[in-house]
Structure 1
Amino acid sequence: MSTPSQAWRRPPIRELGTDLLRISPLRRAVALACPFLCFAAYFFFAAMGQPVLALLAVVVLSFLTYGSVSHDLVHANLGLPRALNRKLLSLLELLMLRSGTVYRIVHLNHHAKYPDAHDDPEGAAARFSLVRTLFEGIVFQFTLGRWACRRASTVDRRRMTAEWFGIATIVLASLAVSPLTLIPLAYCALVYAGSWIIPLVTSYLVHRPEEDGVLRQTRLFRGTFYSMIALDHLYHLEHHLYPQVPHQNWKRLARRLDPHFREAGVEPQRVF
């Protein structure tokens, strides 16, 4: 049996199955609709005096954007025309008071540069302590925005400016109506707080940059526990290896890669 630090042949996607690159129109439509439904659900439940359900709607929305649907739009994995893909990414991230263009730039850079210790702001938390990682979440979007703005093309800078203007407009409008209702302002506070855990869950917990080799620098997760807590989204090593596969197919991708991981001696993290 070989070890992960030895040379490993990455199976081409055509060998694993090009069906992994496709999803049905129905699944794509459902994926794109769910964030907007959660957004509407927050305001509905808040207006009905159901704060717990309103909070739950924001939690689900936060998960569906950065870690799921927005992530697929960053990688252009949903089979959409490029212009529509970019607009939807901007719109979905705007719901969370974030810039979709910044997300696209820093995340694609992460895939290109990780485990670079100096030019990968998205993956930087993997080298931080837990306390610093949690603090980093508070300023994370500002850190990414500043980094991306310095490296963006003129066109992307214009997109970022428009997105930031949209964010400012939403926050100012929420403040303006706060004497009448605190629901919009509470939403802004919740989605901002929801972004604080991004460095923890997308970098600190899933990366091991000090290890040698692509198979060891990102953790492999298996088992019912991780499937349940991450809703079948904790396939980070698989995603690093095949970023072109949409999240709906990660579980199938993992099953097809398991024999290759075993052959390479990769041991998954497992609770049960």
Structure 2
Amino acid sequence: MTAPRPSLAELGRDLTRVGRGRVAAALLTPFLLAGAYVVFASLGFWFPAVGCVVALSFVTYGSVSHDLVHRCYRLPRRVNDALLTAIELLMLRSGRAYLLAHLNHHTRHPDPHDDPEAAGAHGTLWQAARSGPFFFARLWLWAVRRHPRHRPRLLAEAGAVALLAGAAAFTAVAGWTVVPAVYVGLAYLGTWVVPVITAYVPHAPRGETALLQTRRFRGRLARLVALDHLYHLEHHLYPAVPHQNWPELARRLDPYLDRHGVPVVRIGPGPGGAACATPRTT
């Protein structure tokens, strides 16, 4: 029998706190990256421009927007929701659909039938990749069907996405500039890998307990490649902890995870985790 996991009070309430400066930097970063894309692309520096959109995709859905979904920054609800909408619109996505689908994921995982966000975890790598092009559209449709109370907000956000995409197409067709249209194309292409990175890679839905249904990654290379974001198990266990504190949460939680034999997927050398990795079979 698995012993009760440590409470946040036992691990340290400081894990839920982030300084105002770091919060401000996190919230400003998506807008700065979008602005940097416009500057670089307008000057013809396409390599850094593309890099800005790649970084923007990462810091929105997987980082800042994610913290806003869980209200980790303790902002007033209206401010939090407005920022979530604005930041997700930068990548032509619905912030409200993300919020509804992600909170549902925390409630339903590993349900293969009512967890559209992690559906990619239940099949093969190819199936997860193939679901990418329409991933966010499916999340939005699921939210519209399941949450009628939120339909006005969902429809308004979808309308804003359509307006932005239409304006970008118009500027290209009119011969004014292709900068917005290229941005829209890059934002859309970036969604293709989301089910692989956020569903297939971190989840192990066949695990018998909550400790085994999400993978535990450790190693310096994992931290470097994922920019300290491969802590999905820890996040599932303690969703109130903002992403800035995930590495410290993992460090404090390792003794408990080791005692319960939670396997480690180790990518590169480094501390953390005594158990051996179990390879994926699908």
Range into which the TM-score falls when normalised by the shorter chain: over 0.9
Higher relative contact order (CA 8 A, sep 6+): 1
Query: What is the Cα-based RMSD across aligned positions, in Å?
Result: 0.8
Specify the alignment match of 1:145 in structure 2: 140
Specify the alignment match of 1:69 in structure 2: 64
Could you tell me the TM-score, scaled by structure 2's length?
Answer: 0.93
Specify the alignment match of 1:233 in structure 2: 229
Specify the alignment match of 1:7 in structure 2: 2
Matches within 5 A, 1:34-183: 34-154=29-149, 156-178=150-172, 179-183=175-179
Deviation, 1:143, is 0.9
Deviation, 1:96, is 0.3
Q: Which amino acid aligns with 2:6?
A: P
Could you tell me the TM-score, scaled by structure 1's length?
Answer: 0.96
Deviations 1:134-186 (A, max 9, x none): 110011011111111011142x2111111111101101111111121111000
Q: Which amino acid aligns with 2:22?
A: R
Q: Which amino acid aligns with 2:261?
A: G
Q: Which amino acid aligns with 2:110?
A: P
Partner SS state of residue 269, structure 1: strand
Q: Which amino acid aligns with 1:97?
A: L
For the pair 1:217 / 2:213, whether they are aligned, the reply is: yes
Q: Which amino acid aligns with 1:165?
A: G
Specify the alignment match of 1:3 in structure 2: none
Deviation, 1:267, is 2.3
- Provide the C-alpha distance between the structure 1 equivalents of 2:18 and 2:180, rounded to a whole number of angstroms: 35
- Provide the C-alpha distance between the structure 1 equivalents of 2:262 and 2:123, rounded to a whole number of angstroms: 25
For the pair 1:33 / 2:36, whether they are aligned, the reply is: no
Specify the alignment match of 2:279 in structure 1: none
8 Å contact 2:57–2:91 — kept in the other structure?
Answer: yes
Structure 2: 5+ residue runs without aligned partners?
269-282
- Provide the C-alpha distance between the structure 1 equivalents of 2:3 and 2:130, rounded to a whole number of angstroms: 37
Deviation, 1:8, is 3.1
- Provide the C-alpha distance between the structure 1 equivalents of 2:148 and 2:254, rounded to a whole number of angstroms: 40
- Provide the C-alpha distance between the structure 2 equivalents of 1:208 and 1:8, rounded to a whole number of angstroms: 21
Matches within 5 A, 1:179-198: 179-198=175-194
- Provide the C-alpha distance between the structure 1 equivalents of 2:73 and 2:151, rounded to a whole number of angstroms: 24
- Provide the C-alpha distance between the structure 2 equivalents of 1:164 and 1:38, rounded to a whole number of angstroms: 22
Specify the alignment match of 1:247 in structure 2: 243
Deviations 1:221-256 (A, max 9, x none): 001010000100110000000001000110110010
Matches within 5 A, 1:261-272: 261-272=257-268
Q: Percent identity?
A: 48
Q: How many residues matched?
A: 266
- Provide the C-alpha distance between the structure 2 equivalents of 1:99 and 1:229, rounded to a whole number of angstroms: 27
